Structure 1
Amino acid sequence: MTDNFAAADHPHRRYNPLTGDYVLVSPHRAKRPWQGQTEPTEATSAPAYVEDCFLCPGNLRVTGERNPVYQRPFVFTNDFAALKADTPEYHNDDPLFKLHAEQGESRVVCYSADHSLTLPELPLPQIKLVIEEWINQYRDLSTRYQWVQIFENKGAINGCSNPHPHGQIWASANLPSLVATKDRLQKDYFIEQGKVLLLDYLNRELTQPEQRVVVHNPHWVALVPFWAAWPYETLVLPRRHITQMTELTEEEKAALADILKQLTIRYDNLFNCSFPYSMGWHCAPFNQNDHQHWLLHAIFYPPLLRSASIKKFMVGYEMLCESQRDITPEQAADLLRQQSAVHYKSA
């Protein structure tokens, strides 16, 4: 047994205060040779319009409906919706076979009319329009549902079925399991510490920005969280206490567009590819409870590990015990921070 522990070299576990879970960090394993699966890289360019794309302006979708010739972000009800508003009421209290019906809605948000431009390649005014559309959707769906999940799956390697730049919105009558846990733990921290957990965490991170902060501006910070499970996982946090996206000022919307572009450009530049990820927003639920313990935030979960074609698998120990990572969050943040602010396609 060695006498001097070093987090950059020795196995250790890190606690995630938002989920109550631990992550096993094994930095010494990053030095081993890789002989695992690789994935084919996606094409680096695409046309601005694709005739058979269900999301391009003016095209027919699978239902036979035709998209408008849109220029701003375009929203429609998902043609294969996971949640439906007219689901009949049903529940039982069987302790082993508990089941209840769930009502909700599923929508698709096309970010841009241009099929070829992903989020980091969009101009800032267009990204701001996407943010404003997210806010519009929050305002609408929150009148009927207590949870509204905005998210994006980018890249075929990450389950995206259509490369046209788009995200999704699922609204549900009940709080999903992960959200309910995050709500409870943030509330517990607020009661015990008298502070907002994520705001307290952010302020601590800003005392040592060279550790895990990737990019920042006067209103937002993007960082690799101390407890990150995925290799290049990041959190996007506001600097002031904001519980829901509907509270953003015009200046904060513009600054959010800037931070999203800065972060996703660095993702793409890391391996010179259209960097895949799952991204989602978490905010205070839309119910009558007190939510002062919440802080609005976005989470990016990219699957890539060592290159554009080598991804991290959550299997074996991760499925049976707890999440595990090799590269430390500090190393990941440093690699992202070193990337150019200019997209590799434009350099």
Structure 2
Amino acid sequence: MNQVVTPVGTHRRRNPLTGNYVLVSPHRNNRPWLGATEAPVVDDTPSYDASCPLCAGNERANGEVNPNYDKTFVFLNDFGALTNDQSSTQLEQDDLFQAQETSGECHVVCYSPEHNKSLAQMSVDDISHVVDTWQAYYRELSQRYQCVHVFENKGSVMGCSQPHPHGQIWAHEHLSTQIALSDANQRSYYQKHGTSLLADYAERELATKERVLFDNAHWLIVVPYWAAWPFETMIIAKDDVTGFNQLTGEQKASLAQAMKAITSAYDKLFNCSFPYSMGWHCGPENGQDNSHWRMHCHFYPPLLRSATVKKFMVGYEMMAESQRDLTVESAAERLRACF
């Protein structure tokens, strides 16, 4: 097994799932901060909000009334980005102008009836109900669509206007750009090595533990070697599973523990309700051999230096490639102290 040598000076790191690089500039982390700050969030959210469209018993914008749920509650998004309405428009298909019709479903997953509880504040048992719900809807949707995305945007900094704890599930027949890219790169690695890319990666990380934050019987949490966001993390399945369809009861219970651990650590890092975008990447549900896949979850949190200083992906990041000052290993060390 090759030893991983951690670079010290300015360098680039390659993300094997996408093929993209991130520019790492450790010397810039000591520069004075003169940029914008976010207003600190005052956590005075009530456990029930009569105006919240996600709270139990409340009316939503389309006139439907939520049931008095006590665990999780799922409904078809009233303003979903995907619908099953098919147009009859003739679409161009040449080298410069290409389009394709698509359809699908967007569901909202309310994690808890308590308006002021995030995953980090929920018990492992309550998170287990969320994981069960993810699996149940994934199983149902994957019978009709080959691409199912389970994700969450948390916090107003990430564009989430609704503080009630919730995530989303989008399903469609086409492979999203990120899944198609990850599928191609994992398949290429498997054809070359005969093993799963993320299985090998997890083994290498566990051997050094330099970027490992947490692991239990079935899941590994790391700050990935190629992380772009300051405190980006990944949850990787230790077992040979490609998606939610295959998870056993024991694996789901173990996952609930991992979700509790990482979300709680985030909140401890800057002593705030840590914002993030989180999403699961699972192999396509296309009936093919997807042995090259290993299901995994990405956390992309924006906070950089404190609860009020955000990392902006602008300028060079938008026009060239991602760039970070704080090294991945330093981020892992700081996060590890919060577990």
TM-score by length of 1: 0.94
Larger displacement relative to structure 2 (27-36 or 243-252): 243-252
Alignment match, 1:51: 50
Which one-letter code corresponds to 1:140 in the other structure? E
**Deviation sequence 1:6-53 (CA, Å, 0-9, x none):** 724x11000100000110000110000101000112222421100100
Alignment of 1:124-139 (within 5 A): 124-139=124-139
- Equivalent residue letter for 2:180: A
The answer as to whether partners of 2:139 and 2:244 remain within 8 angstroms in 1 is no
- Extract unaligned runs of 5+ from structure 1: 342-347
Aligned partner of 2:298 in structure 1 is 299
How do residues 97-108 of structure 1 correspond to structure 2 at under 5 angstroms? Answer: 97-108=97-108
Moved more, 154-163 or 35-44: 35-44
> Aligned equivalents of 1:102 and 1:6: distance in 2?
43
Give unmatched runs, 5+ long, in structure 2: none
Q: Deviations over 1:273-302 (max 9, x none)?
A: 000000000011111222000001000000
Structure 2 residue 247 is matched with structure 1 residue 244: no
Counterpart position of 1:82: 81
Counterpart-to-counterpart distance in 2, 1:297 and 1:222: 10
Instruction: Tell whether the 8 Å contact from 1:89 to 1:101 is kept in structure 2 after alignment.
Output: no
User: Which residue of the partner structure matches residue 345 of structure 1?
Assistant: none
C-alpha separation in 1, matches of 2:188 and 2:230: 28
Alignment of 1:167-182 (within 5 A): 167-182=167-182
- What is the CA-CA distance between 1:94 and the residue it aligns to? 2.2
Q: CA deviation at 1:87?
A: 2.5
Which amino acid in the other structure matches residue 134 of structure 2? Answer: W
Coordinate RMSD, CA, aligned: 1.2
Q: Deviations over 1:112-166 (max 9, x none)?
A: 0000100010011110000000001111111111100010000000111100000
Q: Equivalents in 2 of 1:288, 1:248: separation in Å?
A: 17
Quick one: which amino acid aligns to residue 312 of structure 2? F
Once residues 145 and 12 of structure 1 are traced to their aligned partners in structure 2, the CA distance between those partners, rounded to angstroms, is: 40
Matched, 1:195 2:186: no
- The CA deviation at 1:86 is 2.1
Mapping for residues 89-238 of structure 1, pairs under 5 Å: 91-209=91-209, 211-238=210-237
* Identity score, percent: 51
How much has 1:89 moved relative to structure 2? 5.5
| CA–CA separation in structure 2 for the residues paired with 1:165 and 1:12 | 39
Q: Equivalent residue of 1:237, what SS?
A: strand
Specify the code of the residue in structure 2 equivalent to 1:218. Answer: A
- Is the CA contact 1:151–1:278 (under 8 Å) kept in the aligned structure 2? yes
Equivalent-residue separation in structure 1 for 2:189 and 2:286 (angstroms): 20
On the 8 A contact 1:243/1:283 being kept in 2, the answer is yes
Q: Match for residue 344 of structure 1?
A: none
CA shift in 2, pair 1:271/1:328, >3 Å: same
Deviation at 1:185, TM superposition (A): 0.5
Distance between the aligned counterparts of 1:96 and 1:197, measured in 2?
34
Number of residue pairs aligned between Structure 1 and Structure 2: 334
Cα distance in structure 2, aligned partners of 1:41 and 1:78: 30
Partners of 2:212 and 2:223 within 8 A in 1: yes
2-side partners of 1:179 and 1:240: how far apart?
20
